[in-house]
Structure 1
Amino acid sequence: MVSNRRKPGKIKQWFNQWLNSRLPAATKVTLAHRSVFILPSGFGLLWLTLVLLLFLFGTNYQNNLVIGLSLLLLSVFNTCIIYSYRNLAGMTISSTLSPQAYAGDTLVFPVRLYANQTQYEVLLNYPNNQIKVIKKVTNEASTSLIPFINERRGRVSPGRLKIESRYPLGLCKAWSHVDLDNEHIVYATPLEANEQLSHIDSEQDYVADNQGGHIPGVDEFKGLRQHIPGESLKQVAWKQLAQGRGMLTKEFQQPQGEPQWLSLTDFSPASLENRLSQLTHSVDRLSEKGQIFGLQLGERTIQPADGEAHRISCLQALALVPAQPETPT
């Protein structure tokens, strides 16, 4: 279900526009001076305060040892600025295909990381989500799964990925916000129907639950299986045998009756989300049984088929049905 989100303030809108111009969306990003930002951390501000107090104390009492100590601490802080930047600069981040997910699940966005030089203690997270700690990033690419809590269906963009490091002493915080352009289609939450859904064909109102399945036959090629001694040699896959793959038998199947149809005609806000969830469950159930079915969504029709590609096509079509605004009372 599409949720109402509070519009960002003017300052946040300006900052987002500035980020979009400075760091445009891309599936692969290499961090450099233009994309890495550095500021003192809370501990770093206390460190600078201590440096200032020591310097004032040393100059007031003309104590060269205290003045030297303050300058030493300041040089340590300056060194941390350089190392904090180097701990992110040169890192390459890229997005990969996300696994299928339903509304209400915690999404997982795989992110590949590698760097020319070893980098330590890198923190990754999407806004208002759990932080993923990467102990070490090397020149060998590794994949990290970044969680993202989501409650709605449809196209979901996790936003900008925050990459942060406080290495080596925590005095400075280096970070970046990258948009990996990894929008994902989230399916509606499956909901089992209490009554039979509309499996409609052209001649009758309801069809049998097993209609549209497959039975052994000779119409369609199903696949290959291990040959059983004593079976007819007519179905032996001689080509595969010549390739050294062993004795295999060809299997064929044929549809059982007319295909089933799942339909959605009522797009009223009161029942739309519940109906989409029921149809999502039906698509998964029919696909698991290997049955042939079609989907009608108003004027859009997905022709009957089976298989994983057909299942994904139907689930995406259900997920992308526009949400209807509630009618004010």
Structure 2
Amino acid sequence: MVKLIRDRWQRWVNRRIPRSDQRSFGQRNIFILPTGAGVVFGVLLLIMLITGINYQNSLIYLLTFLLGAVVVAAMHQTHRNLSGLELALIQAGEGFAGDPIAFRLRAVSPRHDTLALSLACDDEVLNQQHIPSGQQEDLTLSVPSHQRGYLQPDRILVETRFPFGLFRAWSWLRPVTAGIVYPRPLSAPEMANTVQDGEEQSTSRSLDGNDHADIRPWREGDMSQRVQWKRFARTGEMVITDWEGEQGSPHWLDYDAFVGVDRELRLGYLAHQVLERSRSNGRFGLNLPGQVIEPETGAAHTSRCLKALAVFGLEQPRGGESLAFGTRAGEGAGLTSHASGEGTL
């Protein structure tokens, strides 16, 4: 019964406050109720009134009605404090799974000062924000993230208890724009990718038919068989031999390289590799089923790859426009409709 009432209440609120990145608060969408302190204060006024009636004491009547007038004035002021406020989402944040994602909002109060404004989403709360009349203030609210993908808060609570805390006026902002949550980076084992760069592969072979080898520093997760132990014994430097004949092009991070590994683990490994290549300013591309991002360098390229990993296999939330991250179709373009939103934002 309680669940039924709650579901009906939520459906009614969702109809009354549809999704939008911008909301102006007024009589239609502001709710107000007494707080716990307000209820106790009202009970005390009732006791005082009964006492005044019992003893026919004019001073008790005077004090009771005076405090009652204060309560009524506080109710109107609390509602007025939120009325007319305009709140807009100006930037949905990005970050890694498990970290709080910052959402930037802009608040404008054209009629009067808005005092002691609070914003909340789940357990994250932003308290005591003051919006001067006619001015705009940018507020940053952290939204908890638990898994990769799109982060679209169902409701951002907007409330005030000014001036006396006897009443609570509140409403919600239900944003359309979603944040992006990247996969949590996981240290990746050394695996052979399956992507070949045609021209580079044709020139990477030595004249005698041997595979071309690259030497690089050892990283956690590398197989011990690839360590140059003789060189380590001579110089104390631990390096790895990368054979292009075994690994394909060194410029590619390949989803299909991690055979038999769960999808979320693969994406975590790839996110770790993307960050490693970015820190070393290495040129790299990303190969995902149905989507390929060509090798490039720079912060914009790193962000593009992380976003592609974040939304891989997921559908865009309603109200957003899908934008492809890939630059050409991959060989696995024949995925099922379940993954039709791969690589889009």
TM over 0.5: yes
1:123 aligns with 118
TM-score where L is the length of structure 1: 0.74
Q: List structure 1 runs of 4+ shifted beyond 4 angstroms.
A: 202-210, 266-270
User: Does 1:143 find its partner at 2:138?
Assistant: yes
Which of 168, 190, 193 matches 1:195? Answer: 190
User: Does 1:102 find its partner at 2:96?
Assistant: yes
User: 3-state SS of the aligned residue for 1:144?
Assistant: strand
The CA distance in 1 between the partners of 2:47 and 2:298, in whole Å, is 72
Superposed displacement of residue 300, structure 1: 2.5
Q: What letter corresponds to residue 158 of structure 2 in structure 1?
A: I
The CA distance in 2 between the partners of 1:69 and 1:318, in whole Å, is 66
User: Does 1:25 find its partner at 2:19?
Assistant: yes
Superposed displacement of residue 40, structure 1: 0.7
Deviations 1:154-174 (A, max 9, x none): 011122111111111111111
Which of 53, 76, 87 matches 1:82? Answer: 76
How many residue pairs match? The answer is 269
The CA distance in 2 between the partners of 1:98 and 1:197, in whole Å, is 36
Superposed displacement of residue 197, structure 1: 5.8
Superposed displacement of residue 259, structure 1: 6.7
User: Does 1:167 find its partner at 2:162?
Assistant: yes
Superposed displacement of residue 268, structure 1: 8.7
Superposed displacement of residue 201, structure 1: 1.7
User: 3-state SS of the aligned residue for 1:277?
Assistant: helix
Which of 293, 300, 322 matches 2:284? Answer: 293
Which of 2, 23, 28 matches 1:34? Answer: 28
Contact 2:92–2:178, Cα closer than 8 Å, also in 1:
no
Question: Structure 2: which 5+ residue stretches go unaligned?
Answer: 202-210, 217-248, 315-345
User: 3-state SS of the aligned residue for 1:65?
Assistant: helix
Larger RCO (CA under 8 A, 6+ residues apart): 1
Give the alignment's Cα RMSD to 1 decimal. Answer: 2.8
Structure 1, 63-72 or 84-93: larger mean CA deviation: 63-72
Which of 119, 124, 134 matches 2:128? Answer: 134
The CA distance in 2 between the partners of 1:78 and 1:123, in whole Å, is 22
Which of 306, 309, 312 matches 2:297? Answer: 306
Q: 1:157 to 1:206 in 2, by over 3 A?
A: farther
User: 3-state SS of the aligned residue for 2:77?
Assistant: helix
Which of 264, 268, 290 matches 1:273? Answer: 264
Q: 1:18 to 1:153 in 2, by over 3 A?
A: same
Q: What letter corresponds to residue 57 of structure 2 in structure 1?
A: N
The structure that is helix-richer by fraction is 2
1:244 aligns with none
Q: 1:37 to 1:310 in 2, by over 3 A?
A: same
Structure 1, 285-294 or 155-164: larger mean CA deviation: 285-294
TM-score where L is the length of structure 2: 0.70
Deviations 1:88-123 (A, max 9, x none): 111111112234301111111111112121121111
Superposed displacement of residue 269, structure 1: 9.0
2:307 aligns with 316
Q: What letter corresponds to residue 301 of structure 1 in structure 2?
A: V
The CA distance in 2 between the partners of 1:272 and 1:319, in whole Å, is 12
